[in-house]
Amino acid sequence: MKVLFTGANGALGKKYTQSNPDTIPVYVRYNDGPGLQDLANQIKEADVLIHAGANLRPKTADDAIRDNAILPLDIIDMAGKINKDLHIILISTMSLLSENCEPKRLKDMTYYAASKYIMEEMCQKLTSNPLTIVRFSSIFYEDPNKDGLSRIIYNAKFNKSIVAADCRRDFVPLWVLCRWLNKLCGNKTWYNRTINLASGKSVNMVDVAHHLVKKYDVSFHHTSLPEYADICYRFSAEEPQSLEKITFDIYKIIDEYYESLGRK
């Protein structure tokens, strides 16, 4: 199976291509003539396109719409003209959902989430290709610049001090997401559907802090700042577990990441 992956410079793309060395990375941006032409050439003989390229921190609404909605629309339009059998997997985000698992009002979304919501709606309406939209829960990147769990572990290791609040996240390691994506590729069961990829379990950041304090003798400040509110954890594991039942111990993964710091 020939799989193309846009956004291969990102954390998920790097992990996926390392795990699946036959995957073809494609680098394309909005209004990028050479990049789009290269993608068009690759699409002719491809079976699956995973589009993970995105602007995660757009400064304006225009930037968000251009990079996260218009570019995917250009890609699916091109795919429909070249290879109507190409299975397109679009990476979206659970941050566009409210606690009842319904989309938030646009005015309550970040630019990033709103642009992903528009991407979902427009691509579903306009594509003629088999399409699967994937929303991830909180990703454990093992990078303190990318997620709060990594940041807490990093601070425990190097600052010997942690700040955390009572809030829950459904953290999923990158390697788990890559395995689930593999199960989706070319899987007709998931054509023309949207799937929330989450473990179905959650971890309280205060519990993580207590674990690190007990095991590594660090100080802990319990905060109640509003930006530490619960997000993206009340999701059933039924859908991803039907792809492949993957179990992991988040505290074991936390310890492994803690021990790895300083060696990287």
With bands split at pLDDT 50, 70 and 90, how would you rate the model's confidence at 246?
Answer: confident
Helix axes 205-216, 148-158, angle to 10 degrees: 20
pLDDT above 70 for 232: no
Residue appearing with tokens 């997997």: 89
| Ramachandran class of 21: left when φ > 0, alpha when ψ lies in -120 to 50, beta otherwise | alpha
More confident residue, 255 or 166: 255
pLDDT above 70 for 231: no
Strand 131-136 and strand 193-197: the pairing is: parallel
More confident residue, 247 or 88: 88
pLDDT tens per residue across span 163-219: 998 888 889 999 999 999 999 999 998 999 998 888 877 889 999 999 999 999 899
Classify domain 140-169+200-260 by CATH number.
3.90.25.10
User: 3-state DSSP helix/strand/coil percent for the chain, to nearest 5?
Assistant: 45, 20, 35
pLDDT tens per residue across span 113-144: 999 999 999 999 999 999 999 998 889 999 99
Q: Is the dihedral of CA 77, 82, 88, 92 positive or negative?
A: negative
Average pLDDT over residues 145-158: 95
Q: Do domains 3-136 and 140-169+200-260 have the same CATH topology?
A: no
Average pLDDT over residues 223-237: 59
| Domain residue ranges in the chain | 3-136, 140-169+200-260
With bands split at pLDDT 50, 70 and 90, how would you rate the model's confidence at 237?
Answer: low
Residue appearing with tokens 């698992």: 101
Rounded-to-integer distance, Cα 189 and Cα 243, Å: 10
pLDDT of residue 137: 84
Fold topology of 3-136 = Rossmann fold (3.40.50)
pLDDT tens per residue across span 94-108: 889 887 778 999 999
Nearest to 193 by CA among 233, 240, 237: 240
Rounded-to-integer distance, Cα 126 and Cα 10, Å: 27
pLDDT above 70 for 64: yes
